[in-house]
Amino acid sequence: MATRKIIEQGDGSLTKVCRPVTSFDQRLHELIDDMRETLEQANGYGLAAPQVGILRRVCLAMGPDGKVIELVNPEILETSGQQEGYEGCLSVPGMYGWVKRPSWAKVRAQDRDGKVFEVEGVGMTARCFCHEIDHLDGHLFTELVIGGLYTEAELDAAQAESQRKKGKGRKGKS
């Protein structure tokens, strides 16, 4: 296994639609293993093949139990509900934006050996499925941001201010 370089926003690879995987061979296994190591080193929640310069429909998403789910040729079958929250991306380092995503998603994919399976996710897992599959279609989360992008320091300051205001409101009430 090897850690691969994560491509950042501005690289044309991130705006291209990825081709389906047709060979479930050792090269694919090595790609998935390298992506897993890269994801772990980056402390991320998900990673798509175009983020490491490979235009194939492969991505990894963090499951609710903290285990990585490998998705080859994934497609979203169904979604429901809505969640909103700040989202970031390993290809847009240090920047976060408010994004709406489904709160539940059902995905059909293949495993590294080509076997078809379905998986469902709620909350962060659903968000991760949608985010990573968007990468496979050439889209970044920045296209969905409501408002603007914030650095981590700006986000921390805004959240601290929000907590301060909530605290003030409570003090005057009994």
Q: How many domains does the chain have?
A: 1
| Residue 7, in any domain of the structure | no
Give CA torsion, residues 84, 88, 91, 95, to 10 deg.
120
pLDDT in tens, 128-171: 999 999 999 999 999 999 989 999 899 888 788 878 887 754 33
How far, in Å, CA of 5 to CA of 7, rounded? 6
User: From the CB of residue 129, how many other CB atoms can be counted at a distance below 10 Å?
Assistant: 30
The pLDDT assigned to 155 comes to: 85
Instruction: Report the CATH number at residue 107.
Output: 3.90.45.10
| Residue 91, in any domain of the structure | yes
| Residue 152, in any domain of the structure | yes
Q: Which domain holds residue 67?
A: 12-171
Active site residue 132: yes
State the pTM of this model.
Answer: 0.90
| Residue 103, in any domain of the structure | yes
| Residue 133, in any domain of the structure | yes
| Residue 63, in any domain of the structure | yes
How far, in Å, CA of 95 to CA of 169, rounded? 30
pLDDT in tens, 51-81: 999 999 999 999 989 999 999 999 999 999 9
Name the catalytic one among 37, 84, 120, 132.
Answer: 132
